[in-house]
Amino acid sequence: MQTKARGSQDDIFRDLPIPTALRMMVFPAVISQLIVLIYNMADTFFVGQTNNPYMVAATSLILPVFNISLCLAGLAGSGGGTLISRLLGRSEEEEARRVSVFSLWLGIAIAAVFALGIGMFMEPVLKLLGAGENTYQYARQYAFCVIVVGGVPTVLSNLLATLIRSIGRSRQASTGIILGGLLNIALDPLFMFVLLPDGYEVLGAGIATCLSNCIALLYFLVVVLRMGRGSIIAFSPKIGMPRRGNVLAVFAVGIPSAVTTFLFDLDYVIIDKLMVSYHDLALAAIGIVLKIERFPLNVGVGICQGMMPLVAYNYSAGNRKRTEDTIRLSRTLGLVIAAISILLYELFAVQFANIFISDPQTVELASQFLRVRVLATPLMFLSFFTVYLFQAFGRGRISLFLGATRWLVLNIPMLFLLNAIFGMFGIVWSQVMADALNVAISFYVYWKYRPRIGALENGRV
């Protein structure tokens, strides 16, 4: 069984034509990303059916914190997953197995500490996020379910998906994410409108999300167990610790990945804080828009997730042509998706907003916001595409520089600057302005360091 799985992995990473290999890795990852988005949006959709903007605003406030819990999976997952792919490219399977064990236990420990911290300091955290008297109780209910109780299952299921994808099993990785998402969509109306009384719809949405992530985790555990003892992905600490250099390599890529994701979500938190200073309808509108705009962005993330193991493996194996062909095709695909999204959102902004809430004032405001924010889609894709590339190469410092520059130097300062000058719509335009500058910086950095892609061909790691 192990030999067969290994051959299948080599077929995908090393032998299949790039379009075929990329399709096998990217398509399941994109579908799972869309399902993740849909189930995140499902909470907003079903809560929106109450026509209570305060409930919608409360779930929007918690979304960035929920996403921060996912970035914890990225610390262990991106760092460990890309390293595992690179180790397999160098035929170091036993070391890859030790890295998987280390990454899994690292993710569990960090997730448990985060969930405990949110539980202990719930009130100050929610007030910091901007929860007021109309939204606080709803936000507390939702945060308790999806972060305090559901934090570890959420992180571990996403971490396992990343590690399983890193060995070429994109379909199994995506199936678990899709399972959790579909369950969440099915359980939302059951808990919100059938099992719990009126006024507890947000609590019902939180319970549904928590339960669906727990079931997804069970699926991944079964997948790992069925791989057998010889699997690259393992839990047993008896396998031993990876080499010190590889432990550092996990953090070298994982920390920049987590920091970049954290800054992305911090940007959302700041947007919410700035919007709530105008009125709750503005907060509800931007909360809807930040979800709608994630469709093309999540497709882009799926493309990057499918691309990363292919790039990491072939880069480590010294196959420069296969590495560059994968990069080129992935980038083109992402830009085509971004162009289609601009067309659809500009034409049907009102209809998309109406999916989530029927309040006419909120719909009008959300449609105006969406038509502006969607213009940044290709710029955002190119920005995080470059960060993913350097993570695949194991160049954590460069990916950290690009992520920190994007958020700390450009996006977040631009939010405050344009808000001060142009008010509410300045907040909405900030993404386009900041990412236009960031793409120029990303292209320069990629051009400058691109000759190093072939380093392994000359025997350098």
Number of domains forming the structure of the chain: 1
With a pLDDT cut of 70, the percent of the chain lying above it is 94
**What average pLDDT score do residues 18-42 get?**
82
Where do we find the tokens 């167990």?
225
Determine if the pTM surpasses 0.85: no
Dump pLDDT digits (tens) for 100-112. 999 999 988 988 9
Q: Using alpha carbons only, how large is the chain's radius of gyration in Å?
A: 21
Closest C-alpha among 122, 102, 100 to residue 169: 100
* Orientation angle between helical segments 53-89 and 151-166, nearest 10 degrees: 30
**What average pLDDT score do residues 221-240 get?**
85
Cα–Cα distance between 372 and 85 in angstroms, integer? 39
Cβ proximity of 409 and 402 under 8 Å: no
Residue 107 to residues 158, 279, 312, 339, 413, Cα–Cα distance (Å) = 10, 38, 21, 36, 31
* Orientation angle between helical segments 201-227 and 136-143, nearest 10 degrees: 20
How sure is the predictor about 2, in pLDDT bands with cuts at 50, 70 and 90?
A: very low
Residue span of the structural domain in which 374 resides: 2-458
Dump pLDDT digits (tens) for 390-400. 888 888 888 88
User: Long-range contacts of range 412-415, CB-CB < 8 Å, 24 or more positions apart?
Assistant: 412/263, 412/266, 412/267, 412/270, 415/267, 415/270, 415/271, 415/274
Dump pLDDT digits (tens) for 106-165. 988 988 998 998 889 888 888 887 777 778 888 888 889 888 998 889 889 888 998 998
Cα–Cα distance between 71 and 78 in angstroms, integer? 10
